[in-house]
Every structure is written in C-alpha cells, then in structure tokens.
Amino acid sequence: DAGVTQSPTHLIKTRGQHVTLRCSPISGHKSVSWYQQVLGQGPQFIFQYYEKEERGRGNFPDRFSARQFPNYSSELNVNALLLGDSALYLCASSLALARGLTGELFFGEGSRLTVL
C-alpha cells in the first residue's frame, strides 16, 4: 500500500504569492492533518480534517486555509506568503477514531517551501 503522498516535494515562491500544497492519505484513512516544521523545530499543528469537516485549527493566521475532498485528499493553501512561511509542510493521515481516542499519525515526506 502507498503511504501518505504529498506534492510538490519542493517549491520556491516569492513574498506575497500564494501556494497550494496537496496530500493524499493512506487508503482507508479519513482524517488528514497538516503540520508546519520550521528548520530545527518540532512540527506545529495547523489543521485537522475528518470526514471533510475541519475538526481543529492551530495558532496560524487566516492566510492559512485548507479543505478535504470527498476522496479524503486535502489541500493546504497559504496566501500572501511571508519569509517566515518557509518550512517543511507535513501532511499526516490516520484511521477513523473511536470517541475520545487518538489514532496513530502517519506522515508524508512533506513539501519544502522556500519563500524568497
């Protein structure tokens, strides 16, 4: 089975531009989460989607948005890019969760965004 796949793997943008990152979860996984990992730091939670609904949002500005499609793939959009948005953007998927329990997250290889 394929793992979590993300595209593009690398991209370079300039300040003020917009970027769309894409993620396909492991087959059968209905939950997709997005994390930002700045060099030398741990991943930071941006969004979680479950069954196409936003279930959680981290402390990120409204320039960051996401959605999940009927096939459970997801897009992360970032508008008006800033230099500080340069990071590795990780997508993770997990199986449907029982009430009150957290499932294992499987991460993709990430999309490395450089903002010049």
Partner 1 sequence: GENVEQHPSTLSVQEGDSAVIKCTYSDSASNYFPWYKQELGKRPQLIIDIRSNVGEKKDQRIAVTLNKTAKHFSLHITETQPEDSAVYFCAASPMFSGGYNKLIFGAGTRLAVHP
Does position 5 interact with partner 1 (CB under 8 A)? The reply is no
Does position 96 interact with partner 1 (CB under 8 A)? The reply is yes
Question: Rounded to the nearest 5°, which phi and psi values hold at 42?
Answer: -80, 160
Q: How far apart are CA 7 and CA 10, in angstroms?
A: 8
Token pair of 61 as six digits: 């500005």
Shortest spacing between CB 97 and partner 1, in angstroms: 5
- Under the rule (CB under 8 A), what is the footprint of partner 1? 30-31, 33, 35, 40-45, 48, 50-51, 55-56, 58, 90, 94, 96-97, 99-110
